């Protein structure tokens, strides 16, 4: 009876680990899509609304949810409360604080950091061009993330279960 309970615990834990990894593959394309949406809103706020940057970031945070919302909320808070930090430093700090909680990878981070160097530093048209370029680049990353999801999500789920089954068989 004790062996059966132990086997069930091993199988359950490895299956949950596989599901967690699969969830990472599923969340990444969604978060990239949210980031693209956020940048489209930012473009509208900057170009057509002439909204101050920290207010534009707050509007984005209020319209979205999850980790992408937290990123923009943190950036807005830092911009509003720190007069001694530049826009890029505030944006970089927000990215560094929130990035570990996202499913996104280094390419998306580099794109946002590069965009942060331009935000608030140039005229509206230049900012619009940089935002559009970032959106285009994020679209290609989203497509790649969808391909990885299609390839590896099912594999991660199956590998978690089958790995646990192998351990159970080897132990008993």
What pLDDT does 35 receive? Answer: 95
Whether the pLDDT of residue 28 is over 90: the answer is yes
Crossing angle of helices 87-98 and 66-81, in 10° steps, is 140
Question: Which among 20, 74, 25, 57 is positioned nearest to 131, based on CA atoms?
Answer: 57
- Tokens 């390839």, located at residue: 151
pLDDT in tens, 86-102: 889 998 999 999 999 99
What pLDDT does 109 receive? Answer: 94
pLDDT in tens, 42-99: 999 888 887 888 889 999 999 998 899 999 999 999 988 877 888 899 989 999 999 9
* Total tally of structural domains belonging to the chain: 1
User: Which domain does 114 fall in, by range?
Assistant: 2-171
CB atoms within 10 A of CB 123: 7
Residues 110/138, Cβ–Cβ less than 8 Å:
no
Stated pTM of the model: 0.85
């Amino acid at each position: 009876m004790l062996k059966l309970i132990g086997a069930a615990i091993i199988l359950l834990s490895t299956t949950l680990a596989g599901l967690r990894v699969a969830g990472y593959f599923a969340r990444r394309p969604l978060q990239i899509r949210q980031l693209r949406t956020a940048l489209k809103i930012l473009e509208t706020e900057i170009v057509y609304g002439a909204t101050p940057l920290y207010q534009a970031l707050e509007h984005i945070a209020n319209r979205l949810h999850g980790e992408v919302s937290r990123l923009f909320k943190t950036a807005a808070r830092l911009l509003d409360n720190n007069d001694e930090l530049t826009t890029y430093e505030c944006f970089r700090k927000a990215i560094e604080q929130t990035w570990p909680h996202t499913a996104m990878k280094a390419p998306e981070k580099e794109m946002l950091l590069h965009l942060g160097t331009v935000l608030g530093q140039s005229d509206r048209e230049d900012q619009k061009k940089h935002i559009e370029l970032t959106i285009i680049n994020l679209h290609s990353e989203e497509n790649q993330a969808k391909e990885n999801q299609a390839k590896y999500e099912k594999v991660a789920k199956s590998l978690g279960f089958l790995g646990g089954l192998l351990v159970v068989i080897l132990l008993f």
